[in-house]
Amino acid sequence: MECELSSLCKLTGRRIRLSFILFISFFCFTKAQDIHFSGYQASPLFINAANTGNFEGNWRLAGTYRDQWRALSNPFTTAGISFDKRISFITRRLPPEPVF
């Protein structure tokens, strides 16, 4: 039986296992964003900018404030605010959710 992908066939079982172990260990030891970030659903524009104008009402004001790890000498503080308003004359000519 011949392999169609010659580069894949050249890899031995040992190389494939080593590559798999390195790939998995990369995800085990990689540090990323803090997992305790919550309340993101309170501000839909921070989730996705395409949510602009996607709400019931004339306008929307949203804000988030996060204060983490106060025990540190310089704690992490993050704040954000967003405002969006429906533009009625544009929604008559364009699809109901224009993104600017």
Q: Mind listing the pLDDT tens digit for each residue in 18-38? A: 888 888 877 777 665 554 456
Predicted confidence (pLDDT) at residue 14 exceeds the cutoff of 60: yes
Predicted confidence (pLDDT) at residue 47 exceeds the cutoff of 80: no
Total-model pTM: 0.45
- Distance, first Cα to last Cα, the chain: 56
Whether 5 maps to a domain, the answer reads no
Report the candidate in 42, 31, 50, 45 with the shortest Cα–Cα distance to residue 82.
45
Whether 74 maps to a domain, the answer reads yes
Whether 55 maps to a domain, the answer reads yes
pLDDT of the residue at 98:
46
Of the pLDDT bands very low, low, confident and very high (cuts 50, 70, 90), residue 46 is confident
Domain total for the chain?
1
Whether 24 maps to a domain, the answer reads no
Instruction: Name 65's bridge partners.
Output: 79
Helix (H) or strand (E) holding 65: strand 59-68
